[in-house]
A and B are shown apart, each in its own frame.
Chain A
Amino acid sequence: MSLPIFRAQDDPGPNFTALVSKDNFLGQFQGNLAGFSKDEIRHATTVLAMRTKNGVLMAGDRRATEANRIAHRAMEKVYQADRHSAIAIAGAAGPAMEMVRIYQIQLDHFEKVEGVALSLEGKANQLGQMVAGHLALAMQGLAVVPLFAGYDLKREVGRIFSYDVTGGRYEEADFAATGSGGRDARSVVKMGFKEGLEDSEAIKLALSALKEAADEDSATGGIDLGRKIYPIVAVVTSDGYQRIEDDVLAEMTLEMDSEAPR
């Protein structure tokens, strides 16, 4: 390996994917999947995001499925993208996790090379381009549909962006949910959402939304008290990304169960 120094006309700038594609790094998913059983591919399901008083909240269940089988019980679908943003994934798990990894590095890389972080708008557009770049595989059944949310340091508000498989980027006013249980989760958030939710209220709303989604959708995992597997919940405020500890979620789950026995 030698020091990656380029001539001015070949310089990839602050773009990490442009840098690695020079070395043919991103060649792993270029085969044709026709005739390949889609049942073998792991899928991730329900994720949601909502605005809160201080920023945004993002949450996701932990189940990964291969057709009708449960493939993994503790998958992470909500990730920190950079200091002030979070990304959640639904769809084919393998390519989705790879996309998150490249996206995280892409944002850090830009910030380090340029000396300033991308704007939230810039980060959202960048993710749209990555989803669009994945379209050929999405057409073969490996769709990746992320959710992106973060704290906009310029406008001083939390903002949420949803995507479709073509890379279309849609800014959501208050909340969004995607994945196979997304509809159910969205309905719950829609009923409970109000302006200026405190973190604790938003966490409870997210937990009940995921609970309802798990109730209706076989591919969404519920809260697994026996194995102590809780959803992943994170908040992003002007102070940055913070994942909510399992202990807090456990306590809230107990509280909610006592409030609304079913």
Chain B
Amino acid sequence: MTMPFYVAPEQVMKDRAEYAQKGISRGRSLVAAVCSDGIVIAAENPSRTLHKISEIHDRIAFAGVGKYNEFDQLRVAGVRHADVRGYTYSRDDVDGRSLANLYAQYLGQVFTHEMKPLEVEILVAELGGDNAPSELYHISYDGTVGDEDRLVVLGGDASVIRDRMEQAFIENWTIAQALPAAVKSLQGPDRTLEAGDLEIAMLDPSLLRRKFRRAKESEITTAIASIPKKEVESSE
């Protein structure tokens, strides 16, 4: 019988983390911001049909970066969890925190027990109301979960994009203010994003029951148009 080589657990974890991070950093990033009139989520995504942002339940949205098939499986599981819970108890008993914890448990379990960790980073956004504040739960590939009440950036260039977003941040901003800032943070100083490169959705408290909606083409073009074009001005 041959003995397997001994590998230190620290090394195993490090290798897995590195593997997952590499997978995630290959994809484009995503920004979510809590605003006074809802929550806006913007992602760089050239596809019109393979969504990164989607609806989980009345007040809950899901967003993922990394490997599409992996976060899409998590999305569907989230919809199932939420709808079963809403059916068993009531629609009001479906909450983002319990869903975020379930995701964290699952990702943590896969990270420690399976051969290959999931190459995803996901966001559970829950719109507040009735004295409950809006929450953004950020869950990473190893099951680490964090909650934010202002903004979250997921993906490869998260720290750079986050810095840009923090600079643009205004207390109690509206979606109309936050969306151009998000697009500008995603594109950075050297690129310009077109409407076709972006996927944008929001949790809109003015809607009746299901608060999730995708941004209209016109809203996206308006947001892009309101970004000052420094490069163009200087070249003229």
Contact = CB atoms under 8 A, between A and B. Distances in A.
Interface of A: 1-5, 16, 19-20, 23, 25, 101-102, 105, 108-109, 112-113, 115
B77 A5 contact: yes
Given A101-B87, A109-B79, A3 B106 contact: yes
Given A20-B84, A101-B87, A4 B77 contact: yes
A4 to B, nearest CB: 4
Given A4-B77, A19-B83, A105-B86, 8 more contacts: A3-B77, A3-B102, A16-B87, A19-B84, A23-B84, A25-B87, A109-B79, A109-B83
A128 B80 CA distance: 23
Interface stretch (B50-58, B167-175, B186-194): B50-58
Contact of A115 (B54, B73, B78, B210): B54
Nearest to B212: A112
Given A108-B210, A112-B55, A102 B87 contact: yes
A112 B56 contact: yes
From DSSP, what is the main secondary structure of chain B's interface residues?
helix
Contact-size category for B: 20 to 34
17 contacts: A1-B81, A3-B77, A3-B81, A3-B106, A4-B84, A5-B74, A16-B83, A16-B87, A20-B84, A20-B87, A25-B87, A101-B87, A105-B86, A105-B87, A108-B83, A112-B56, A115-B51
Contacts of A105: 83, 86-87
B76 A113 contact: yes
Nearest to A241: B208
B25 interface: no
B206 interface: no
B56 A4 contact: no
Contacts of A16: 83, 87
Nearest to B88: A25
Contacts of A3: 74, 77-78, 81, 102-103, 105-106
A113 B79 CA distance: 7
Contacts of A19: 80, 83-84
Interface in B66-93: 73-74, 76-81, 83-84, 86-88
Contacts of A112: 54-56, 79, 83
Contacts of A20: 84, 87
Nearest to B102: A3
| A-B residue pairs, 9 tightest by C-beta | A4-B80, A3-B106, A3-B102, A112-B79, A5-B77, A3-B77, A109-B83, A112-B55, A4-B77
Contacts of A113: 76, 79-80
Interface string B138-168: 0000000000000000000000000000000
Nearest to B56: A112
Most buried by A among B51, B77, B105: B77
Contacts of B77: 3-5
Contact of A1 (B73, B79, B102): B102
Contacts of B76: 113
A20 B82 CA distance: 12
A134 B67 CA distance: 42
Interface string B207-233: 000100000000000000000000000
Most buried by B among A23, A105, A108: A108
